[in-house]
Amino acid sequence: MANSTNSFDRRANHLLRLLQLCGGCVPLHSLQCQVSNSVIQTLLDKELVKVQNTGRGFLLEIAEDF
């Protein structure tokens, strides 16, 4: 079970680093093939990221407090 948790944490940290490298936000549709919805939802629940509706799609961005 510890390996599963460590793997999940690694994927969440990878997503946060990716967001930082991309200037703090990335289109949500571009991540759905690469990152599981549960990783995204966990980061949303922890308020580390937020979703913004641009009118042309959704952006996943780093929360300002992070």
Q: What letter represents residue 58's amino acid? A: F
pLDDT band at 8 (very low <50, low <70, confident <90, very high): confident
pLDDT band at 31 (very low <50, low <70, confident <90, very high): confident
Task: Give every CB contact of residue 26 below 8 A, 6+ residues apart in sequence.
Answer: 18, 19, 59, 60, 61
